[in-house]
């Protein structure tokens, strides 16, 4: 992987739960595909995941006891970063793993020099939208018919968070 060192290898994802965030490796692909398959009506393919690893995207997993509980992928391009994928196995949702993965990607984007971070989320995914809103993301637009699902196509909400230049910190130490 290119860019800055990931900020949280082997850092507990959630205190007391024993999950750890670490780099995704090619050996993780089968488990990550399993999480994708039970989480999305239109999951990422092995090719898409392999391409992200080979491209040098920030590819992270949340792991506990050798089991992959979730994963996240971020691409940084100059002053912008985009969260391409953030997924937690349904059995492990509401344990703060998604928040830990999201915070990890935001920190990686800051260290890589990104000034803005973007993502798309299904319009109907209220749980994820509340998570992103709680982490200072805000709606900036829509993509019509972006996600495919069993009921047909669904719009995406585009969300963004300003990180600011040089790590996104104001002199007082808070986000702008």
Q: Of the listed 132, 139, 144, 154, which one is catalytic?
A: 132
171: helix, strand or coil? coil
Write down the catalytic residue from 36, 82, 107, 120: 120
Name which of 167, 168, 161 is nearest 139 in CA terms. 161
DSSP 3-state of 67: strand
- 132 belongs to the catalytic site: yes
Residues 6+ apart with CB under 8 A from 126: none
Cα 102 to chain centroid, rounded: 5
Alpha helices by DSSP H, the chain: 29-39, 46-55, 97-111, 126-134
Q: Return the C-alpha torsion angle 162, 164, 167, 169, nearest 10.
A: -90
- Rounded Cα distance between 3 and 123, Å, is 32
Helix axes 29-39, 46-55, angle to 10 degrees: 130
The catalytic residues are 120, 132
């Amino acid at each position: 992987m290119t860019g800055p060192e990931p900020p949280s290898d082997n850092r507990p994802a959630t205190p007391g739960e024993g999950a750890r965030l670490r780099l995704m490796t090619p050996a993780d692909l089968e488990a990550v595909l399993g999480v994708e398959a039970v989480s999305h009506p239109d999951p990422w393919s092995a090719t898409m995941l392999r391409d992200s690893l080979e491209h040098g995207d920030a590819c992270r997993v949340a792991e506990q006891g050798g089991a992959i509980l979730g994963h996240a992928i971020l691409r940084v391009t100059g002053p912008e970063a985009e969260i391409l994928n953030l997924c937690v196995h349904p059995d492990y949702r509401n344990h703060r793993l998604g928040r830990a993965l999201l915070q990890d990607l935001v920190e990686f984007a800051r260290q890589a020099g990104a000034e803005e971070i973007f993502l798309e989320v299904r319009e109907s995914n209220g749980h994820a939208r509340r998570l992103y809103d709680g982490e200072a993301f805000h709606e900036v637009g829509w993509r019509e018919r972006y996600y495919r699902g069993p009921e047909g196509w669904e719009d995406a909400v585009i969300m963004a968070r300003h990180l600011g230049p040089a790590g996104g910190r104001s002199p007082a130490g808070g986000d702008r």
